[in-house]
Amino acid sequence: MRLRQVALVARDLEPVRQALESVFGLKVAFRDPGVATYGLINVVMPFGGEFIEIVQPVTADASAGRLLAKRGGDAGYMLIFQAPDAARHRGRFVERGIRNIAELNSHRYTFTHFHPGDVDGVLTSIDTEGDGANWNEPRGSWTPAGPDWRNADAGPDIVGILGATVQVANPLATATRWTELFEGRLEPGATPQMMVDRGHVKFVKGTTAAGIIGLDLAVRHPKSHSRSCREAGPAHRRIRRTYRRCGDAGVRDGLVSTRPATTILKGAMRMLMS
């Protein structure tokens, strides 16, 4: 299993899209008309072989609008995992009493969205592309990003999404539960985390509503992106506000053994989603 896509929710998606473009050079690969079913509009932007989605509620009854109110503004919205057999995981989750709130079953794509109330406050989905054989291909096909997503590649400096951070009431208990649910590997430590085959989810103690509060992003030249944060002009105040700690983000080499040539830029997305 891998963490393939992370969705953010915003009252207005365009300023967030512009911030990601300005700081990381991200491009829109797809605007999915299908999310209208959920009262949303969206954009999907490749980040290496993974994806950042931004959704904006446009109907009064959209659940994403309730999350905006609960979290007090723009926030993390959803974690989407890719697996070889999403239907098998659907059965496992249902057996454990976790509600299935949306599903698709086709030869091209299969997914299940699980109720956040049953997954520690986080909306999650497990998806399979085609027959699932190529689930671990770094830049494999991905229906939610559209058929031509590779044409929106941001360039070789953008490596990928390494993981996400979720705030919860009891980090260790939640990490342990997710490890069983998603068939991952538990790393207890000071910051408990669930490791999957490609990606991780860290759990920290929160004093506000549970949810996604940060991403770990891999780029090859972090200083250039930090510079973009500092140099943002008055017309890009949202970038300054969103990424105000970008220049102070902790950067360390070799944190991920499968990507030894990369360095890690941490903190920028955390500011976006707090």
pLDDT at 214: 85
Q: Which residue has the higher pLDDT, 228 or 149?
A: 149
Q: 140 pLDDT exceeds 50?
A: yes
Residue 24: pLDDT band with limits 50, 70, 90 = confident
| Amino acid (one-letter) located at 103 | E
What sign has the CA pseudo-torsion 14, 19, 208, 55?
positive
Could you tell me if 11 and 58 are in contact, meaning their C-beta atoms sit under 8 angstroms apart? Answer: no
- DSSP H helices, the chain, are 13-24, 63-71, 86-95, 171-181, 222-230, 237-242, 268-273
Q: Which residue has the higher pLDDT, 271 or 100?
A: 100
Single out the residue of 129, 127, 163 nearest to residue 50, CA to CA.
Answer: 163
Q: 187 pLDDT exceeds 90?
A: yes
pLDDT at 159: 87
Single out the residue of 131, 176, 153 nearest to residue 50, CA to CA.
Answer: 153
Average pLDDT over the chain reads 85
Which structural domains are found in the chain, ordered by start? Answer: 2-273 (3.10.180.10)
pLDDT at 239: 42
Strands 185-187 and 109-114 come out as unpaired
What CA–CA distance (Å, rounded) separates 19 from 237? 9
> pLDDT by residue (tens digit) across 189-208?
999 999 999 999 999 998 88
pLDDT at 265: 43
Q: Is the pTM of this model over 0.75?
A: yes
What CA–CA distance (Å, rounded) separates 40 from 152? 22
Q: Which residue has the higher pLDDT, 240 or 16?
A: 16
Q: 260 pLDDT exceeds 50?
A: no
Q: 249 pLDDT exceeds 50?
A: no
Residue 265 is encoded by which pair of tokens? 């830029």
Percent of the chain with pLDDT over 70: 82
Using a 10 angstrom Cβ sphere, with 0-12 exposed, 13-18 middle and 19 or more buried, the burial of residue 189 is exposed
pLDDT at 43: 98
- DSSP H helices, 128-211, are 171-181
